[in-house]
Structure 1
Amino acid sequence: MLLALTAVSGCALLSEDADDPAQYDARWDTSTADPVIKPAAASGLGYRPDSRDLQNPPAQPAIYQYQDPLRTGFYADQTHKSLHEYADQLAMGLMDKAAQVSTARIGVASFVRLNASLQETTVLGNQLAEYLMAELQEYGLSVVDFKVNSQVQVTARGDLAFSRSSKDATMTMDHVVTGTMVETPRGVRVNARIIALDTGQLIAASTIQLPAFMVTSLNQTASAD
């Protein structure tokens, strides 16, 4: 009998020294409309405010007048999309409406600023034309390069096949791809078209918006060269 009492007493001592598991159990808080689980205080997961909670947020000036979104709105400064991908998008829009030019010879001219003369091009206008030549050729079009000389010029600077002289342009074509560029505060709107040279008929048209920072980066690269 004495031995049994000693065993019971020992169990009581062990239970008093052990931590109470209930103090670590999370419980449902049903005091609000949407019950949430609140961690127990001893778990270390509860929120404890510090000095940062006593700091007031910085005051924002009140806006009492209309703000033009084109001038005060969000401006991106980088993108994962390259100019070549914009040219691909432009070519896709053209080919979606120009199935009848698949067998015609087609040339690609520089894009020009939309002004009174329609004779001013830019780095962007020339690069878009170069990219479009490759993109349209991938769509199966018979693309011709009218800047190629009839003969290769061998010079001290290298062997040259291209020329900007009109008298050296010997290629003939049925259609031409060209377009205009409209410069805006947010970038450049490019309007491309495929035109039949014999009739002036508009075969297809497409448009894209290029962000301003991409155009600016092209200009910086050209200045460095």
Structure 2
Amino acid sequence: MPILNQKSLVKHTFSVLLLTTYLTGCSVLTQQVESGYYKDEMNFPIHSDSYQENAILPDARFVMPQAIQSLTLADHVQILAQNLVGNMEYITPDTPIGVTHFAQLDSDLMTTNVLGLQIAESLVTEFHKFRLPVVDYKATEYIRVTPNGDFFLSRDYNDLKNQLPMDYIVTGTLADTPRGVMINARVLGVTTKKVVAATALLIPSDVVGELETITDVAQVEQ
């Protein structure tokens, strides 16, 4: 057999083997996925690099199904923050913003609950991850040393500054639904009152229930 033909035959045989191996690998992978072998790997944590790169679609409003299972309250707030940042206007890394507590929708907008408190606290963390300058307007100018602990934050307006360098405010409302609590969040200009970002997110009842259970236990222990 000529040398050229021998090389062609070897090349052809190698190609067939490579194709067979590829198809076999695909078949095995499909079986493993269907059997749940890769179940844990597919449901990657929301804080993982894979989630950050793939879970949020370009319009920043929807999450891929495989990242939805077993989300905690912190995960939902992270999605809320990503959605807000995804459609923000005018705000830059040099724009100071403040975060207020989320009010109950069916109130005079001056009433909140533990969920509204926790969402605000978590949003401060999430916006800081985006390197947005968040102003904590509850910070005082001194540390209060008390029998109950040492504190730098206060809810007493007499302890706080009258004016702070904030151009925008993150705020929102909570609305109870049969499936959970609907969070309506927005970013407003302090002077213009113009909405520069907005989003809505449903936090399931079981997630809200876990937070309320923890709060009830803490109150009993006190």
Name stretches of at least 5 consecutive residues in structure 1 with no aligned partner.
1-78
Residue in 2 that maps onto 1:150 = 141
2:175 to 167, 176, 182: 182
Name stretches of at least 5 consecutive residues in structure 2 with no aligned partner.
1-68
Pairwise CA distance, 1:172:
3.3
Pairwise CA distance, 1:100:
2.1
Pairwise CA distance, 1:167:
2.3
Preserved CA contact (<8 Å) 1:88 1:132: yes
Residue in 1 that maps onto 2:79 = 89
What are the within-5 Å matches in structure 2 for residues 117-196 of structure 1? 117-170=108-161, 171-196=164-189
Larger helix fraction of residues = 2
CA distance in 2, matches of 1:161, 1:135: 21
What are the within-5 Å matches in structure 2 for residues 99-114 of structure 1? 99-102=89-92, 103-114=94-105
CA distance in 2, matches of 1:148, 1:135: 19
CA distance in 2, matches of 1:172, 1:195: 14
Q: Deviations over 1:1-57 (max 9, x none)?
A: xxxxxxxxxxxxxxxxxxxxxxxxxxxxxxxxxxxxxxxxxxxxxxxxxxxxxxxxx
- Larger of the two Rg values belongs to structure: 1
1:218 to 200, 211, 216: 211
Pairwise CA distance, 1:216:
1.5
Percent identity reads 35
Letter aligned with residue 144 of structure 2: Q
Q: Secondary structure at the match of 1:93?
A: helix
2:199 to 192, 202, 206: 206
Letter aligned with residue 173 of structure 2: T
Pairwise CA distance, 1:173:
1.1
CA distance in 2, matches of 1:153, 1:160: 5
CA distance in 2, matches of 1:157, 1:121: 25
Residue in 1 that maps onto 2:25 = none
Q: Secondary structure at the match of 1:159?
A: strand
TM-score by length of 2: 0.63
Q: Secondary structure at the match of 1:189?
A: strand
The number of aligned residues is 147
